[in-house]
Chain A
Amino acid sequence: MGLLSKKDAALLKDPLTDNNPITIQVLGICSALAITAELEASIVMSISVLFVLGLGNVVISLMRNIIPSKIRIIVQLIVVATLVIIVDLVLKAFAYELSKTLSVFVGLIITNCIIMGRFEAFALGNGPWRAFLDGIGNSVGYGVILIIVGFFRELLGAGTLLGYPVLGNPIPGELSGLYAYGYENNGFMLLSPMALIVVGLIIWIQRSRNTSLIEEN
């Protein structure tokens, strides 16, 4: 990449694979799981986090020399809360139904550990450009997992993707597609516990492929 030096490119790429915020750093699980029953909600959530983390990292990084270290948590919380209010108002204005589905989980981006974690670990010690790349990289890494989980849960649970039926028509009497062969939706996938199990399986696959990530018991 001509635009980015090797080190900068690593900032973008690492969180996607070997340093993924959800499966490796274990940050930001809280809001990640509850809203993944639908693909659409997962995508919107990922974009919201992308916005908040990308911009928040830049703001904190610009202020890093003037924030007294004793009150830095409160300063960080205020910065995030402001950005999240913007996201919340935009969602309410342009996607009202979706903002109802996401309910309090938009607000919970404030305490999403991924955001505080990146502020503490990266933005406080690096310049704005690098902080921006780090924010983008990490929120994309977060989004990828969210979208994978949302994809499988909606596909297997409801037979739809983004609200469109992709496996055929499950209504009795006018069966089509897979349903005509006796396929049934697994409604269980839509319930919250399955999100945990799906993420558990993703972690399993990832660590079997890259054995250096395996933890001690």
Chain B
Amino acid sequence: MEHLELFFKSIFIDNMVFATFLGMCSYLAVSKKVSTAVGLGAAVIFVLAVTVPLNWLLDQYILQEGALVWLDPAYGVDGADTMDLSFLSFIMFIATIATMVQLVEIVVEKFSPSLYNSLGIFLPLIAVNCAILGGSLFMQSREIPTLGLSLTYGVGSGIGWFLAILAIAAIREKIRYSSVPPALRGLGITFIITGLMAIGFMSFGGMLTGGDEAKKETPKVATQPENKTDKKEAITKVIADNTNTNNQ
């Protein structure tokens, strides 16, 4: 059940593109045709499904505070030599991703040349796609508890990204026949359509919670430092209340 919940949550509610703007660069650059969009989307699902669980293992057994306890009890959280290597996580994650992408490329080329031909040019691009690193970083910051769930999260986020790029590519293929204001053609209208789609996707927010839970991306202002004046807090509270009403 929690797998199913996380799966749908990562596809719709925390959609990579619409909720967190990850992988926007390739999303905008490679969405002119549906066929190429499908290729890139499939590659993203694949790579996320591989790298998120792998980085989960790294995080759990090497990077977290006291994670090295399997080497020696002294490295545990309460041990004498406890270590917190989490400052290394950026470099470890990106190295894993770059290596995995290279490895996946070699394996796919060897065993499935047809898949390689369709994904081929996109695979190297993926190493620097924010969606991939973002997947791992969110996995870490949301403290996903088990390896199985991290796999679900990776696949779910990948599918969410796939859906987003597929939808925008289909729209962009059709919008060629509309008369868009000249200055808005191409990039401008794509931004605005994506914005509208993101508003649409926000309505999924009520799907799992029944709409009674405050949304994740309630204004950042609301989570501001508490050491500012009381007046300021009161103001932000009013803003937060306003926004919550809008959400529901």
CA distance A29 to B31 in the complex (A): 15
Q: Which residues of A contact B28 (CB under 8 A)?
A: 26, 29
Q: How many residues of A contact B (CB 8 A)?
A: 72
Chain B residues 102-153 with CB under 8 Å of chain A are: 124, 127-130, 132-134, 137-138, 141
Main secondary structure of the interface of A (DSSP, over half): helix
Residue B94, interface by CB 8 Å: yes
Residue A67, interface by CB 8 Å: no
Q: Measured between C-beta atoms, what is the minimum distance from B154 to chain A in Å? A: 15
Residue B24, interface by CB 8 Å: yes
CA distance A85 to B87 in the complex (A): 7
A196 and B187 within 8 A (CB): no
CA distance A157 to B236 in the complex (A): 11
CA distance A211 to B25 in the complex (A): 24
B94 and A108 within 8 A (CB): no
Chain B residues 170-223 with CB under 8 Å of chain A are: 175-176, 180-192, 194-196, 198-199, 202, 217, 219-221, 223
A165 and B235 within 8 A (CB): yes
Q: In the complex, what residue of chain A is closest to B228 when comparing beta carbons?
A: A163
Q: Which residues of B contact A1 (CB under 8 A)?
A: none
Given contacts A108-B137, A203-B191, contact A38 B94 (CB under 8 A): no
CA distance A38 to B175 in the complex (A): 33
A207 and B224 within 8 A (CB): no
Main secondary structure of the interface of B (DSSP, over half): helix
B185 and A193 within 8 A (CB): no
Residue A123, interface by CB 8 Å: no
Residue A135, interface by CB 8 Å: no
B246 and A187 within 8 A (CB): yes
Q: Which residues of A contact B182 (CB under 8 A)?
A: 207, 211, 214
Stretch at the interface among B14-22, B50-58, B66-74, B76-84: B14-22
Q: Which residues of B contact A180 (CB under 8 A)?
A: none
A29 and B94 within 8 A (CB): no
Q: Which residues of A contact B190 (CB under 8 A)?
A: 200
Q: Measured between C-beta atoms, what is the minimum distance from B55 to chain A in Å? A: 12
Q: Measured between C-beta atoms, what is the minimum distance from A18 to chain B in Å? A: 14
Residue of B134, B198, B228, B235 touching A104 (CB-CB under 8 A): B134
Residue of B25, B98, B239, B242 touching A26 (CB-CB under 8 A): B25
CA distance A203 to B185 in the complex (A): 10
CA distance A31 to B99 in the complex (A): 23
Residue-wise interface mask of B (217-248) relative to A, using a CB-CB cutoff of 8 A (1 in contact, 0 not):
10111011100100110111011001100100
A193 and B202 within 8 A (CB): yes
Q: Measured between C-beta atoms, what is the minimum distance from B137 to chain A in Å? A: 4
Q: Which residues of B contact A170 (CB under 8 A)?
A: 235, 238-239
Q: Which residues of A contact B21 (CB under 8 A)?
A: 29-34, 192, 195-196
Given contacts A97-B224, A187-B219, contact A207 B137 (CB under 8 A): no
Q: Which residues of B contact A41 (CB under 8 A)?
A: 220
Q: In the complex, what residue of chain B is closest to A112 when comparing beta carbons?
A: B130
Q: Would you give 21 A-B contacts (Cβ < 8 Å), ordered by A? A: A29-B24, A33-B24, A77-B98, A78-B94, A84-B90, A89-B87, A111-B94, A111-B132, A113-B25, A116-B128, A158-B235, A158-B239, A188-B246, A190-B220, A192-B21, A192-B198, A193-B202, A197-B196, A216-B185, A216-B186, A217-B175
Known: A187-B219, A215-B187. 6 other contacts (CB 8 A): A116-B128, A157-B239, A169-B235, A193-B199, A208-B183, A211-B183
